Amino acid sequence: MKKTITSNDLKNLVNEAHAQVKDLKGGKNANYIPFLDKIDSNLFGISVCLPSGEVIEAGDTNYVFGIESVSKVYTAILVLRQYGAQAVLDKIGADATGLPFNSIMAILLENDHPSTPLVNAGAISADSMVKPVGNSEAKWKAITDNMRELSGSDLKLLDELYKSESETNFNNRSIAWLLKNFNRIYDDPDMSLDLYTRQCSMGVTAKQLSIAACTIANNGLNPVTKQQVFDPSLSPKITSLIATVGFYEHTGDWLYTSGVPAKSGVGGGVLGVVPGLFGIAAFAPPLDEAGNSVKAQAAIKYIAQKLNVNVF
Ligand code: DON
User: How far, in Å, is the centroid of ligand 1 from the Cα of 279?
Assistant: 21
Domain that holds residue 244: 7-66+204-307
Q: What is the CATH number of the domain that holds 217?
A: 3.40.710.10
Are 27 and 148 in a shared domain?
Answer: no
- Given 153, 175, 200, the domain boundary residue is 200
What's the pLDDT at 199?
A: 98
Give the whole-angstrom CA distance, residue 293 versus residue 296: 5
User: How far, in Å, is the centroid of ligand 1 from the Cα of 266?
Assistant: 5
- Please tell me whether 74 is known to bind a ligand: no
The pLDDT confidence band at residue 9, using thresholds 50, 70 and 90, is confident
Q: What are phi and psi of 221, to 5 degrees?
A: -95, 115
Pocket test for ligand 1, best of 36, 72, 99, 102 (most atoms within 8 A of CB): 102
Q: Exposed, middle or buried, 2 (CB in 10 Å: 0-12/13-18/19+)?
A: exposed
In the chain, the number of structural domains is 2
What's the pLDDT at 113?
A: 74
Does residue 2 fall inside a structural domain? no
Are 178 and 279 in a shared domain?
Answer: no
Are 155 and 116 in a shared domain?
Answer: yes
Cα atoms found within 13 Å of the Cα of residue 206, Cβ hemisphere only: 28
Q: Which residues line ligand 1 (CB under 6 A)?
A: 68-69, 101-102, 120, 165, 172, 200, 264-266, 291-292
| pLDDT tens string 183-238 | 999 999 999 999 999 999 999 999 999 999 999 999 999 999 999 999 999 999 99
Are 51 and 152 in a shared domain?
Answer: no
What's the pLDDT at 250?
A: 93
Pocket test for ligand 1, best of 120, 198, 202, 251 (most atoms within 8 A of CB): 120
Amino acid identity of 215? T
User: How far, in Å, is the centroid of ligand 1 from the Cα of 225?
Assistant: 29
Does residue 282 fall inside a structural domain? yes
What's the pLDDT at 34?
A: 93
Averaged pLDDT of the chain: 96
Q: In what order do the strands lie in the sheet with 262-264?
A: 55-59, 45-49, 278-283, 269-274, 262-264
Are 246 and 274 in a shared domain?
Answer: yes
Crossing angle (nearest 10°) for helices 71-83 and 136-151? 110
Are 216 and 294 in a shared domain?
Answer: yes
The three-class DSSP label of residue 212 is: helix
Task: Report the nearest-CA residue for atom 4 of ligand 1.
Answer: 68
Does residue 123 fall inside a structural domain? yes
Residue 148 reports pLDDT greater than 70? yes
- Given 200, 233, 257, the domain boundary residue is 200
Are 224 and 118 in a shared domain?
Answer: no
| pLDDT tens string 207-222 | 999 999 999 999 999 9
Are 84 and 50 in a shared domain?
Answer: no
What's the pLDDT at 1?
A: 64
The pLDDT confidence band at residue 2, using thresholds 50, 70 and 90, is low
| pLDDT tens string 241-298 | 999 999 989 999 999 999 999 999 999 999 999 999 999 999 999 999 989 999 999 9
Nearest atom, ligand 1, residue 101 CA: 10
Are 243 and 301 in a shared domain?
Answer: yes
Does residue 1 fall inside a structural domain? no
Are 79 and 191 in a shared domain?
Answer: yes
Nearest atom, ligand 1, residue 69 CA: 9
Task: Report the nearest-CA residue for atom 3 of ligand 1.
Answer: 102
- Given 200, 226, 246, the domain boundary residue is 200
Sign of the C-alpha dihedral, residues 276, 282, 288, 292? Answer: positive
The pLDDT confidence band at residue 57, using thresholds 50, 70 and 90, is very high
Are 73 and 193 in a shared domain?
Answer: yes
